[in-house]
Structure 1
Amino acid sequence: MKIAKILSFMGIMAMTAVLIYGFTKGDFFEDGGELMKNPWGIVSLVDLYVGFTLFSIWMALREKNIPVLILWIAAVMILGFFAASVYVFINLMTSRGDILRFFLGDRKEEILLKERSGERGADHERKR
């Protein structure tokens, strides 16, 4: 998990640098308009927001606190992978090396309990 912490921290630093660069050297609305005129600009934005949405689904699966979840999703949709890198870094630090805690968050015990009790298998069988 040390490598993941380093990579997420590098993501924070890289995104901080490029956000500062973009806001100081570019015109958000003018450049955004140019991006929307380019077919590959549209493809890139759709790709980006599909990624944001998938990342948000993972956050929703691991977060129990709905107001906190809403704030994080808003941050990701507005600040992009800067916010996602911060979210990953914080959760890597607070999981203390527990990979299941990192991926499942506050729902770890709930999910493991269901797994152990066979609920997941029973639910899976009912869906068939």
Structure 2
Amino acid sequence: MPEHTPAPTPSRSVYGFVLYLSSYSALSVYLVWAFVPDNILHSIGLTYWPQKYWAVAIPIHLCVVLALFAFLIYPSINLIMTPPLHDVRTITDVHAININGKNVPPGGIPPVSDIPISEVCRHLYLDTK
């Protein structure tokens, strides 16, 4: 079974290099299409290119899609996945570590753990007088 690790491997380096070359190639083709006049492109035999309007419209559309995702769709997905307030999963989950000072020597520092909601409410809302 292969180990999942972020360490560099030969296949990852090849994929990364190909992605690096293809992204710079795509950027150079885009810049040529956007800035070189059509008559020069037609004179060297490149006759079919989309309209220059799309050289500006495509990045603007991508920015709008990114903004919609970042400010509307992603927070909406997170709100949908959040359990309601009356659900037990809001208070604790299967990964909670509850030690409550067990096996701590007197004057010692307890290990990192989750604080039970009852203790939090006691400290926050009970009157200490």
Higher relative contact order (CA 8 A, sep 6+): 1
TM-score interval for Structure 1 and Structure 2 normalised by the shorter chain: under 0.3
Give the alignment's TM-score, normalised by structure 1: 0.23
Q: Which has the larger radius of gyration?
A: 2
Give the alignment's TM-score, normalised by structure 2: 0.23
